[in-house]
Amino acid sequence: MVQEPEEEPFVLDEDGGDEDDAYGLTPALEKTLLETLADDRLSEIPGLVADLHPADTADLIERFDRDKRAKFISTLGDGFDPEVLAYLDDDVREEVVAGLGIEALARVVDALDSDDAIAIVEDLDDEDKKRLFALIKPEERAVLEEGLTYPESSAGRLMQRELVAVPAHWTVGQTIDFMRLSDGLPEDFYVLFIVDPHYRPVGIVALSHLLRSKRPTRIADLMEQDFVKFEVEVDQEEVAYAFQQYGLVSAPVINEAGRLVGRITVDDVVEVQAEEAEEDILRLGGVSESDLTVSITETARSRFSWLVVNLGTAIAASLVIAVFEATIEQAVALAVLMPIVASMGGNAGTQTLTVTVRALATRDLGRANMMRFIGKELAVGVFNGFAFALLTGIVAGVWFTDVMIGIIIGLAMIVNMIVAGLAGTAIPIGLDRAKIDPAVASGVFLTTVTDVVGFFAFLGLAAWLLL
């Protein structure tokens, strides 16, 4: 007989919200909490957030300013869920951790999975780490210290140490009995790792396969020997790619000796993929992922360097214009029309650039299809160049009642749209070959190319054909 759940399940409606706004961080709940904090009705706060998922509580804390965060967390006291820290933005988490104090942080770390605990501890300074390690259990300290020896953004930092490993000679019955009696199992797991006497992984068994098999069945007869495993120093982007490519749910992590030291699960990888995608998008705009939560001064400082670079590219484009100053003075229409050429080239290049950077990030673009991809984008540039040359040529010719002006802007449009398509693919591919993140610098180089080429083509043709 199936037991009915004690609580109603959370069901999203077609708009992405819940049906009766009884679950999650709703606008109404956020407003109520703000009013409660403002009115100092602090005793009501624990009850208001008691049913919130840690991720929703983290979102709430990120939306508060510094003073409200401190007040909110202080009000929760021992009721503060340690898992909330795992969902916080890095900058906000550092602030919250600093406010908790080392003793409270020790209790938090003890309650978290090893990967989440390491993510928190790695941001502490050396003195705070020493104080923290003195307060936690030796076995927990050993796990954290080992984890911190691995490179940042590596499989070693990403993995969880909590896992289920059994020998191949066990039966299904022995394995199930072991899991029922063991107190040290992870809270959630999907795969059993099969190890040899040296604790090296030799196979995996999905939990669903185990539960469908009869008790006398040997694990060796169930295990899958063709499986993906990661060394501790593999970059997390490589891990994320493998999970996506092969549809993995969980995978083992091994050390230099080939011994099993941890596991990576799909929920960790989803977070990595989201972070990497967000990072690429923000880098294309020259902004930081933490701009939403840091101070005005820090945000301005982080954006300043990219704006300086953009200023340099703008000056380069202006120098091209200065070369044709005499030409512009004799045909005022050129000053009116030349931003159109540069703008259209920049936008077309950005479209190509976005597709290329994304294809490189997902590894859909390789040696086998690179030339075909570049050829396609070049062909698109040619097609759009002629199409917009006709359109802008007619508009400019009618506007200034000068057929030659229309021809000049049309020809310049063709040149710049073709160059934009070529640069939008060549620049990120070249940067990627040079081991430079194409999401970081591609936009700046592309803007320079399309502006300089656009102005030079338009004004050069004007100087040649009009004067």
pLDDT in tens, 174-219: 999 999 998 878 888 999 999 999 999 999 999 999 999 999 999 9
What is the pLDDT at residue 243? Answer: 92
Domain boundaries, the chain: 27-152, 165-284, 296-466
- Top pLDDT among 234 and 125 is at 234
| Overall CATH class of domain 27-152 | mainly alpha
Domain 165-284 matching CATH 3.40.50.300: the answer reads: no
Q: What percent of the chain has pLDDT over 90?
A: 33
Running DSSP on this structure, what letter comes out for residue 451? Answer: H
Count other Cβ atoms within 10 Å, centred on residue 370. 13
What is the pLDDT at residue 100? Answer: 85
Q: Which fold has domain 296-466?
A: Tetracycline Repressor; domain 2 (1.10.357)
Tell me the pLDDT band of 4, cut-offs 50, 70 and 90. Answer: very low
Q: How far apart are CA 216 and CA 363, in angstroms?
A: 44
Q: Phi-psi region for residue 229, left (φ > 0), alpha (ψ -120 to 50) or beta? A: beta
pTM of the model as a whole:
0.68
Q: What percent of the chain has pLDDT over 70?
A: 89
Q: Which helix (H) or strand (E) holds 348?
A: helix 332-361
Torsion of CA 171, 173, 175, 177, to 10 degrees: -150
Distances (CA, A) of 84 to 62, 264, 338, 414: 11, 20, 53, 54
Q: How far apart are CA 106 and CA 396, in angstroms?
A: 70
Q: How far apart are CA 433 and CA 136, in angstroms?
A: 45
Q: What is the mean pLDDT of the chain?
A: 85
What is the pLDDT at residue 115? Answer: 86
